[in-house]
Amino acid sequence: MSEPTKDQKIWQVVAAIPPGCVVSYGQVAAMAGLGRQARYIGRALGKLPAGHDIPWFRVIRSNGQIAFPQGSDAYETQVGRLKSEGVEVTNGRVQMRQFQWQP
């Protein structure tokens, strides 16, 4: 079997995040063995194939902020999905101390 691509490693990490938890882009990069490539994580999540079930919405900025602009469709989708799992989002932010996944 061939080695997973960088994107596939990222998707595997994100797929493992349990419901009701969030992680930062940097945390995903570190867990995928990509060091400090946090900026790449968003690009990889943007390449997810149609019909996927990977919980991309559980990945947020390290300060707890939603990365999408407030009011955008992506922002509303992400906030709605997080809230449906019991994650509190206030003014576009999640309390990382309370909801950050610590595997």
Range of the domain at 37: 6-99
**Residue 40: CATH number of its domain:** 1.10.10.10
| pLDDT tens digits, one per residue of 30-75 | 999 999 999 999 999 999 999 999 999 999 999 999 999 999 999 9
Number of domains the chain is built from: 1
| pLDDT tens digits, one per residue of 77-102 | 999 999 999 999 999 999 999 999 99
Residue 1 lies in a domain: no
Structure tokens at 61: 């900025």
> Are the beta carbons of 87 and 75 closer than 8 angstroms?
no
